[in-house]
Amino acid sequence: MALLEIKDLCVSVDDSQILKNITLSIGKGETHVLMGPNGAGKSTLGNALMGNPAYEITNGSIYFNGLDIRNETADKRAKAGMFMSFQNPLEVPGITLSSFIRNAIIQKTGEKIRFSEYRKELAADMKILNFDTPYKDRDLNVGFSGGEKKKAEILQLLMLKPRFAILDETDSGLDVDAVRTVSAGIREYQKNEEGALLIITHSTKILESLHVDYTHVLVRGEIVANGDGSLVEDINENGFDRFGA
Amino acid sequence: MAKERSEVKDIDRSLYDFRYEEKEEDFYKVREGLTPEIVREISREKHDPEWMLEFRLKSLDIYNELKIPEWGPDISGLNMDDIVTYVRSKTGMQAAWEDVPSDIKDTFEKLGIPEAERTSLAGVGAQYDSELVYHNVKEEVLAQGVIYTDMESALTGEYEGMVREHFMKLVPPTDHKFAALHGAVWSGGSFVYVPPGVKVEIPLQSYFRLNAAGAGQFEHTLIIVSEGADLHFIEGCSAPKYNVANLHAGCVELFVGKNARLRYSTIENWSKNMYNLNTKRAICEEGASMEWVSGSFGSHVSYLYPMTILKGNDSHCEFTGITFAGAGQNLDTGAKIVQLGERTSSFINTKSISKSGGESTFRSALTIREGARDSKASVSCASLMLDDISRSDTIPAMDIRTNEADVGHEAKIGRISDDAVFYLMSRGISEEDAKAMIVSGFADNVSKELPLEYAVEMNNLIQLEMKGAIG
């Protein structure tokens, strides 16, 4: 069985159906890309997979690592090894980025971590992301620019080391340099051969320097095409028109 | 996936609820209710000077004439005929901790008072029911000429003149019905005098504990900070839960001299059968600075609006407050500021949280008088509601009588964001912890104003309040 098995998944928001019969399987260490025009339902899939209670699964199943997680809460999914980088990360005053990540690691693993080791690892990962050290002592995302928020998301990805991560529009609103740094962070995550990714994007910029195994095209809530990494280039040249978008 | 609803259980108050089986004969108390005879009896027990007895009786007359306020939370559950206005342990006040009776000592030890005294306080007064049972001030503070004593000693000793000159001059018995009640039956509390230029480096503290069922606590705190002096005073309040109503109608009067600074911090965690009808007022002379930090967590009903009169030119006031109203609580809190002097400035910054049907109201009154040219004022209040059954209101009043003032106002009322909870949960944090984290963050600017131990206590109270969220 693959790491993530999605079968006939239907998802509604406020009683209106967004996703129709999504079937997708993601194996260990694979990088999948989910593309599609605005409003196709890409972020809905990410949120439904991560367990956002505002997204109601009306049909179908989700198995993660052999476990039926359809009715699990987001924290249980995270503990099982799932992660999502948010399109719009939320600002949480009163807790610093550094203590938040440490807290999350402790909650996730149930084990204490040595502070000195933690600090060293955090510094190394922040360096990869070209993320200025003082940010670790600032309140989580509070007053961060769009780029800094995305760096903070990827920093959490690297520190929390999930088995599977959804990157929801991580490149949106970023300038060329920021896209490059964020890609470097994602490549760092890919070095772990077990780690799987679902990259949700409507542009191809972020994919230029990343290895991609599979591509899926989502239009009006349905997967209309599947392919390998070369499908990205095809879409880059021809857009989504030929998929009926 | 089914929509989740979370429910936050009531606070586990066991930390504050412990009480010892007390033998009636160990305590002296007056009868329930309020009559001139009872007031005379209290006065006699306390060896009041003659003028104080007269003051009490006059206050009682005023009390009988004034009406119960009708503009705030309902206090019809409070029947004065059932309230015991004076309860005293038969042992006198002690200056050595070892000499305090063991049951009372254990109570304060559970609350961490002696611990706090050892580590971070310059002096401590501990009041149990109507009277102080322990009072101690560090040598070095006494050597600076600072006076910190219980009100009775001040009144019957060498500071009688100073007490008479200030007592209920800022808060006259005519102010409102419960100020009059206070004037009639007050007992206990602290008297502090800081001589000119003296800076007290570490805080003084009073801790008030109301242990007797159906009793009232009416302590009077009188603080005089002389020209150029500096003081931080902390008060803490708690009580165990009974099924009958208890009443707290204390009075705090603060005189802040020219260029002096006073910081007054309160963490109030009365039990949820308490009517907290407390009056606090400060007056600032030229260049003086008054800072209030106020945390209201307990009581069934609270009316609490510390008032600051910026009388002198260039005087300044900051009020930072947080109110947390849970099930069965109606907490009406805020601040009052009157700016008289030129170039005075005031900042009110409050947060309120309500959950499980709790009601919190922020009420403020800002007055800038004609003469207060080039003055500044800012009022900012934010409320957070944790569910659909709780209530939060904001009633800010402003009366600005000069065109030459700079006044700002900001009010925010919000609910706990589901998106923020989901964001934290997606990192492996449970729903309960995620909510506690968001609430603590909301309260963060208040906890930063508190001394560390109190910030920790406040965070513990928030964590306790948030425990029991069910996914």
**Domain ranges, ordered by start, for chain A:** 4-89+163-243
Q: With a cut of 70, which residues of chain B have pLDDT below it?
A: 1-26, 90-91, 111-114, 116-120, 451-454, 465, 467-471
Domain A4-89+163-243 has CATH 1.25.40.10: no
Q: Do B1 and A53 touch (CB under 8 A)?
A: yes
Question: What is the reported pLDDT for B91?
Answer: 65
Chain A residues in contact with B440 by the CB 8 A cut-off are 94-95
Mean pLDDT calculated for residue range A132-152: 95
pLDDT digits (tens, 9 = 90+) for A151-173: 999 999 999 999 999 999 998 88
Closest to A94 (Cβ–Cβ): which among B430, B434, B444? Answer: B444
Question: What is the reported pLDDT for B98?
Answer: 76
CA nearest to A53 within chain B = B3
Structure token pair of residue B104: 């009372």
* Of the ranges A18-32, A96-110, A201-215, A220-234, the best mean pLDDT one: A18-32
DSSP E strands, B151-229: 190-194, 204-209, 216-217, 220-225
Asked if the C-beta of B430 comes within 8 angstroms of chain A's C-beta atoms, the answer is yes
To the nearest whole angstrom, how far is the Cα of A150 from the nearest Cα of chain B?
A: 14
- Give me the residues paired with residue B377 across strands: B346, B407
Q: Do B429 and A75 touch (CB under 8 A)?
A: yes
Give the global pTM. 0.81
Paired sense of beta strands B27-29 and B87-89, if any: antiparallel
Asked if the C-beta of B96 comes within 8 angstroms of chain A's C-beta atoms, the answer is no
Closest to B431 (Cβ–Cβ): which among A73, A100, A103? Answer: A73
Structure token pair of residue B55: 């003051």
Structure token pair of residue B185: 């039956």
CA nearest to A60 within chain B = B1
Asked if the C-beta of B441 comes within 8 angstroms of chain A's C-beta atoms, the answer is yes
Mean pLDDT calculated for residue range A113-139: 94
Chain A residues in contact with B420 by the CB 8 A cut-off are 90, 92
Q: Do A104 and B443 touch (CB under 8 A)?
A: no
Chain B residues in contact with A93 by the CB 8 A cut-off are 441-442, 444
To the nearest whole angstrom, how far is the Cα of A83 from the nearest Cα of chain B?
A: 6
Q: Do B426 and A103 touch (CB under 8 A)?
A: no
Question: What is the reported pLDDT for A107?
Answer: 86
Cβ–Cβ under 8 Å, residues B215 and B83: yes
ipTM of the complex, rounded to two decimals: 0.96
Nearest CA to B73 among B296, B235, B233? B296
Nearest CA to B51 among B147, B153, B163? B163
B289-313 in b/e form (b: 16+ CB < 10 A) is bbbbbbbbbbbbbbbbbbbbbbbbb
Mean pLDDT calculated for residue range A209-214: 92
Helix (H, G, I), strand (E, B) or coil at A240: coil
Q: Do B428 and A54 touch (CB under 8 A)?
A: no
Asked if the C-beta of B423 comes within 8 angstroms of chain A's C-beta atoms, the answer is yes
Q: Could you write out the DSSP letters of every residue in A20-56?
A: EEEEEEE-TT-EEEEE--TTSSHHHHHHHHHT-TTSE
Which residues 6+ apart lie within 8 Å of B212 measured at CB?
Answer: B27, B29, B84, B87, B129
Closest to B426 (Cβ–Cβ): which among A57, A84, A95? Answer: A84
Cβ–Cβ under 8 Å, residues B282 and B306: yes
Q: If interface means Cβ-Cβ distance under 8 Å, which residues of chain A face chain B? A: 50-57, 70-71, 73-75, 77-79, 83-84, 86, 89-90, 92-95, 100, 103-104, 107-108, 139, 156, 160
pLDDT digits (tens, 9 = 90+) for B173-186: 999 999 999 999 99
Question: What is the reported pLDDT for B264?
Answer: 96
Mean pLDDT calculated for residue range A210-231: 94
